[in-house]
Structure formats: structure tokens, C-alpha cells
Amino acid sequence: MTQDLSILQLVLNASWVVQAVMLLLLGVSVASWAAIFRKVFALGRMKRLNDDFEREFWSGTSLSDLFATAGRRAQEAGPMERIFASGMLELQKLRERRITDTASLLDGARRAMRASFQRELDAIESNLSFLASVGSVSPYVGLFGTVWGIMHAFTGLASLQQVTLATVAPGIAEALVATAIGLFAAIPAVVAYNRFARDIDRAAIRMESFMEEFSNILQRHLGSSSAPR
């Protein structure tokens, strides 16, 4: 009895529909964990790069030097540095077109930084929708496997003259494994999604604050009719 009700035996003895549901949920769970680990490393790297750039930005280094450095390491730069570079690049292009109006220069730099910020935010939020889908759909997929398994079990018992708990238990246990696997896939995805969403919100607020501070610096430079140095 104990051997028949082991997890492995339950999976092997389940109907092909339930086995297909279990296989699908296991594949989704593996993909979900892979996405979670990738996002953990990506957010950690983003925070580290933003910290390094912000430290360098407020260290007194000139804007021109920061812009030149950002251009050299464009592939390795963090989101905040790319936002800064987009604003400086747009400002440089406008000045090359001999636009001297302070409001136009500042508005162009802000629009460029806002567009870059949106691109960075879209990249950071990648895979979040997948985790949300896994967290919301997996329990229902597992429940479908359970319902199908119970239907299959009771159909097989219909021809028996006497039904006891020993004859019912294996079929129901097989079906319930699908629900357990569905929850196993869904719970980590939901927890990770909530954690990542909170971290991304904090990063977005931090980058928006930087854009405002940098815009104020540009406004002071442009207002004094001197190019950023």
C-alpha cells in the first residue's frame, strides 16, 4: 500500500492526460525558476551599476567627462548612465543646430531622458508578465488535471461491486498530485513577482529623481549661458 502510494508510483500510474498536465507544469516551473534567477542577477547588476554611476556623478566629475566615459562603455553602462547619456547627446545635437533657447534645450534633453527611461523600464520589466501568468494560471491547470484524474478514477470504479477506501485512494491521490505540482509552480512565481515589482518600482523612482536633479543642473548651466562642463 505504501509503495503503491509513493509519489513516483502515483505519477506513473496516472492517466496520460494527468501525466501530460504534470509534465507541462514541471516544464513551466523550470522556466519560471530560470526567469527568477535571471531577474535576480539582472536587478543586482542594475543596482550596482546605478550606484557606481551615481557615486561618480556626485563626486564632482565634469558632465563632459562623464558623457565621454558613458560613450566609451555604452554596452556595459547601467540604466541611469544611459539615461544621462541620452540627455547629454540630445543637448549636444540641439546646440550643434545652433539652438540657444534655454527652454528648448532643456525640453529636448528632458524628452530624450524620458524616452530612454521608458526603454530601460521596459527592459527591466521583461519576464514579469511571464511570472504573473505562471502564478495565476498554474493552479487552474493543476486543478484541471485533478478533476480529470478523479473523473478517470471514478469511471474505473464503476464496474466494481464493492468499493472501499483502499480502492478509491490511489486514483484520488494520483489526481491530487497535479494540484500539488501546480501550486509548486505558482507559489514561487507569485512571491518572486511581488518582490521584483517592488524592487523595480524603487529603481524607477530613483531614476526619475535622478532625471529631475540632472534637469535642475542643466537648467542652472543653461541659465547662466555656459555650456555644461
Rounded CA-CA distance 117/86 in Å is: 9
Q: pTM, whole model, 2 decimals? A: 0.80
Task: pLDDT tens for the chain, 229 residues: list them.
Answer: 444 556 666 666 667 777 888 889 999 999 999 999 999 999 999 999 999 999 999 988 888 888 888 888 877 889 999 999 999 999 989 888 888 888 888 999 999 999 999 999 999 998 899 999 999 999 999 888 888 877 776 676 666 556 555 566 666 777 788 888 899 999 999 999 999 999 999 999 999 999 999 999 888 887 665 444 4
Rounded CA-CA distance 11/187 in Å is: 21
Tell me which DSSP letter residue 8 carries. H
Please state the three-class secondary structure of 160-212 as a single string: CCCCCHHHHHHHHHHHHHHHHHHHHHHHHHHHHHHHHHHHHHHHHHHHHHHHH
The closest alpha carbon to 82, from 73, 93, 91, belongs to 73
The closest alpha carbon to 80, from 202, 211, 198, belongs to 211
